Chains A and B, each alone.
Chain A
């Protein structure tokens, strides 16, 4: 069963239609179709080389598509140069003009529009107070910290009130602590302004936290589009399942097919899933179950009839808020299980080389065909 959700309204505010970009023989962006709604924060998620940056640059106008169109508010902007598009981008390196002050950086785009001086002034001040850098107006970029530079870059890209805001790996240059705080700040500012936003990232946590919808990309293609929970709970294939978070995969073929449940026969045992699936007996399927949905214990539980397995603990990692166990089944298949530390005293008594049992409820696993 595959789930692929797209927005329901049909024509989006920003549309990519059959976008293809070829460099020599390689298609960096391969027939991508996207429809993005007004006001949403949309993430392009994938590892390096998947084409997300090229796609973003085509939206900005720095790359021309080999074939395909980009439509903004119904208008075809494919052939428009970047300086004519009502789109602004926040660069990964921030790209602040080193020879200009913060104030002049933010005012730069406004001056190109030929706005009167008073309006430029009020707009710049508005933007600077939005990012809380009002007191830094006269500083030069090298006199600012990384986080401050980013806020200037953001203010600068919002100053012209663009119809679309593009973010290129917005949190890439920040360290972990700063990243967490900045994630929420960014989203708040963007939502306060109400601008439609497309962001590019390789960090799934970033995408899941900030975006209202995510497109998972690999090798130039969009594999799945959906809200964070949709993509996480209902990945439409092995790649997406494995890319987002962690997942355990059990390959097998359908052995029982009923109206309200089915069973997959795998080398490790039988996996039962609580819904029906299209197809015939013997069909090859993969059961995918997330580590946090698996329960682990040293004693065989009573009352668990399905999805019960046994194995040996070969690896334990302690992460403070949760533990991770790697359990090896007789078939040498390794399964990852995470267990939250809910109580202070109850450090798990499971240790290396213990024989353990683990199980999960019928509704926890999902079936994948690819």
Chain B
């Protein structure tokens, strides 16, 4: 008994980590496993079947939702990265200007605030704007739908993008910007020719992150969408509230598969690029010592 306890204590770290990983992946496993179930049951596996995948292909709501979510997410990702880069630049490079505290507060807030508050306040504003434009110009804009959802998602996305880009911007060696200026670049040129290429990896990460967050969002979409405009998560949410629907499991499995492939390949690619780089740097140093360079 004592030996068991000692063994447990010694390997606490692995035991704890494994347990947490099991906890994290349990739902994923569940979704994948039961997406292949031949009946509606979600506790007994009655047989292997692809019927839910078939159902998925024929489910108009889910398919339409998918395309809409895709469009929204791509737009959001792009807008968020652009705005996030601006914001990161402002926070990292301009340490003193009037209203900096307010700016910093505003841009960090969406990271923490409950989505209900953000969704609600944005909805109120959009409706107020729509009313105003209607009374002034006769046409109410914006109509609740694609544009409003994008605005809402971008507010969130911008905050996340900024965090990612900010950290890369901070670590960047600033002397290369000065070198660029020294060699004749005007400030705007410096940004596009030197700064941007150097923060590009962070911008890609930020795009992926905001894309995912937008694709996955329920609350803000619900608040800001209009009749006939339903994103994929909204459709799933509706199904989810009603009960068990293995078609959703099938959708989930496809999503998990896609995300896993993308993330794993990205990680492998990054690791390989890093190792390659380290090897080249070492080779250069060794070569230098050889020729006493």
Query: Known contacts being A108-B183, A112-B185, is A95 close to B175, with CB within 8 Å?
Result: yes
Q: Give the Cβ gap from A127 to chain B, nearest Cβ, in Å.
A: 13
Interface residues of A in 79-136 (CB under 8 A from B): 81-83, 87-89, 91-93, 95-99, 108-109, 112-113
Query: Known contacts being A82-B182, A142-B277, A142-B280, is A93 close to B175, with CB within 8 Å?
Result: yes
A83 adjacent to B175 (CB under 8 Å) = no
B125 within 8 A of A: no
A96 to B180, alpha carbons, bound, how many Å? 9
A143 adjacent to B189 (CB under 8 Å) = no
A142 adjacent to B182 (CB under 8 Å) = no
Query: Known contacts being A82-B178, A83-B184, A95-B178, is A148 close to B284, with CB within 8 Å?
Result: yes
B198 adjacent to A99 (CB under 8 Å) = yes
Q: How many residues of A contact B (CB 8 A)?
A: 34
B184 adjacent to A95 (CB under 8 Å) = no
Q: Give the Cβ gap from A28 to chain B, nearest Cβ, in Å.
A: 18
A160 to B179, alpha carbons, bound, how many Å? 13
Pairs across A and B, CB under 8 Å, 15 listed? A61-B182, A82-B178, A83-B182, A83-B185, A89-B178, A89-B179, A96-B176, A98-B198, A108-B180, A142-B281, A144-B284, A145-B284, A148-B284, A148-B288, A160-B183
A95 to B183, alpha carbons, bound, how many Å? 12
Annotate A322-364 by CB proximity to B: 1 below 8 A, 0 otherwise.
0000000000000000000000000000000000000000000
B70 within 8 A of A: no
Q: Give the Cβ gap from B230 to chain A, nearest Cβ, in Å.
A: 43
B260 within 8 A of A: no
> Which 4 pairs of residues, A with B, have the shortest CB-CB distance?
A145-B288, A109-B183, A112-B184, A95-B179
A47 to B176, alpha carbons, bound, how many Å? 25
B287 proximity list for chain A (CB < 8 A): 145
B28 within 8 A of A: no
Interface residues of B in 252-293 (CB under 8 A from A): 277, 280-281, 283-285, 287-288, 292-293
Q: How many residues of B contact A (CB 8 A)?
A: 26
Query: Known contacts being A142-B277, A143-B283, is A95 close to B176, with CB within 8 Å?
Result: yes
B194 within 8 A of A: yes
Annotate A153-191 by CB proximity to B: 1 below 8 A, 0 otherwise.
000110010000000000000000110000000000000
Query: Known contacts being A109-B184, A112-B183, is A91 close to B175, with CB within 8 Å?
Result: yes
A81 to B183, alpha carbons, bound, how many Å? 11
A140 to B186, alpha carbons, bound, how many Å? 24
A288 proximity list for chain B (CB < 8 A): none
B285 adjacent to A145 (CB under 8 Å) = yes
Query: Known contacts being A93-B173, A109-B184, A113-B184, is A146 close to B288, with CB within 8 Å?
Result: yes
A89 to B180, alpha carbons, bound, how many Å? 10
Chain A residues close to B by CB (< 8 Å): 60-62, 81-83, 87-89, 91-93, 95-99, 108-109, 112-113, 140, 142-148, 156-157, 160, 177-178
B186 adjacent to A83 (CB under 8 Å) = yes
A148 proximity list for chain B (CB < 8 A): 284, 288, 293
A98 to B176, alpha carbons, bound, how many Å? 9
Interface residues of B in 193-213 (CB under 8 A from A): 194, 197-198
Q: Give the Cβ gap from B273 to chain A, nearest Cβ, in Å.
A: 12
Q: Give the Cβ gap from A248 to chain B, nearest Cβ, in Å.
A: 38
Q: Which chain B residue has the least Cβ–Cβ distance from A86?
A: B184
A142 adjacent to B184 (CB under 8 Å) = no
B181 within 8 A of A: yes
Q: Which chain A residue has the least Cβ–Cβ distance from B280?
A: A143
Q: Which chain A residue has the least Cβ–Cβ distance from B189?
A: A112
A142 adjacent to B179 (CB under 8 Å) = no
B183 proximity list for chain A (CB < 8 A): 83, 88, 108-109, 112, 156, 160
Q: Give the Cβ gap from A98 to chain B, nearest Cβ, in Å.
A: 7
Cross-interface CB contact of A91 among B179, B197, B198, B283, cutoff 8 Å: B179
A265 to B285, alpha carbons, bound, how many Å? 58
Known contacts A61-B181, A61-B182, then 4 further A-B pairs from the complex at CB < 8 Å, ordered by chain A residue: A82-B182, A83-B183, A87-B182, A97-B179
A177 to B292, alpha carbons, bound, how many Å? 9
Q: Give the Cβ gap from B115 to chain A, nearest Cβ, in Å.
A: 38
Interface residues of B in 130-154 (CB under 8 A from A): none
Q: Which chain A residue has the least Cβ–Cβ distance from B292?
A: A177
Q: Give the Cβ gap from B95 to chain A, nearest Cβ, in Å.
A: 14
